[in-house]
């Protein structure tokens, strides 16, 4: 496949993903309607709080503002800007432009690393991730993704390897962690 054709395919895929994001984001609720989301701090009926982390791979403030402008003609109008609990994190890599492995490692562990590394610090030492922390506290855990479970972003929440391309090692770490739920997709070309 030629470089130009690959670029055009990636561009088309990015535009489709942005269109899907925009179409899935309702505008702010009219004042006469009930809120779509209740306060996340309130535990479920059984008294056990739930924590769900949603990671939009490559999704930053700029992409959200573009989606808001496209859908509503102004910024900050996507409903997700009104969620009661949300956060931001700096995922800058010492490598320069951050890749998804280093970025997701920062999200999953709070530790900065070099591009291409998953779940390890600058010295290649394993850093405890959110899944391991939750498991150690007796919480149920899971990872759900629309790509392969061994892909850099989901793997950063479950594995510790010095290269994002060590798929077998990532899979072994994932199996050792034993999440309660593992759902993945994707296709290897």
Catalytic machinery residues: 100
- Alpha carbon of residue 89 to chain centroid: 12
Which of these, 32, 10, 18, 124, lies nearest to 63 by C-alpha position?
Answer: 18
Q: What is the DSSP letter of 158?
A: T
Q: Which residues contact 144 (CB under 8 A, 6 or more apart)?
A: 181, 182, 183, 184
Q: Report yes or no: 154 and 147 within 8 Å, Cβ to Cβ.
A: yes
Report the alpha-carbon distance of residue 185 to residue 189 in Å, rounded.
13
């Amino acid at each position: 496949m030629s470089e130009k054709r690959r670029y055009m395919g990636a561009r088309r895929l990015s535009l489709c993903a942005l269109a899907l994001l925009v179409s899935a984001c309702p505008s702010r609720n009219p004042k006469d309607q009930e809120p779509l989301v209740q306060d996340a701090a309130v535990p479920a009926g059984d008294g056990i709080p739930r924590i769900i982390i949603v990671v939009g791979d490559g999704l930053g403030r700029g992409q959200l503002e573009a989606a808001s402008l496209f859908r509503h003609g102004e910024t900050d109008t996507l409903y997700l800007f009104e969620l009661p609990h949300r956060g931001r994190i700096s995922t800058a890599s010492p490598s320069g432009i951050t890749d998804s492995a280093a970025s997701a490692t920062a999200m999953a562990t709070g530790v900065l690393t070099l591009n291409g590394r998953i779940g390890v610090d600058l010295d290649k030492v394993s850093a405890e991730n959110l899944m391991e922390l939750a498991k150690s506290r007796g919480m149920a855990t899971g990872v759900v993704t629309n790509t392969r479970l061994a892909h850099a972003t989901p793997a950063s929440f479950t594995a510790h390897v010095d290269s994002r391309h060590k798929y077998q090692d990532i899979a072994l770490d994932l199996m050792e962690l034993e999440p309660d739920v593992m759902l993945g997709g994707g296709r290897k070309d």
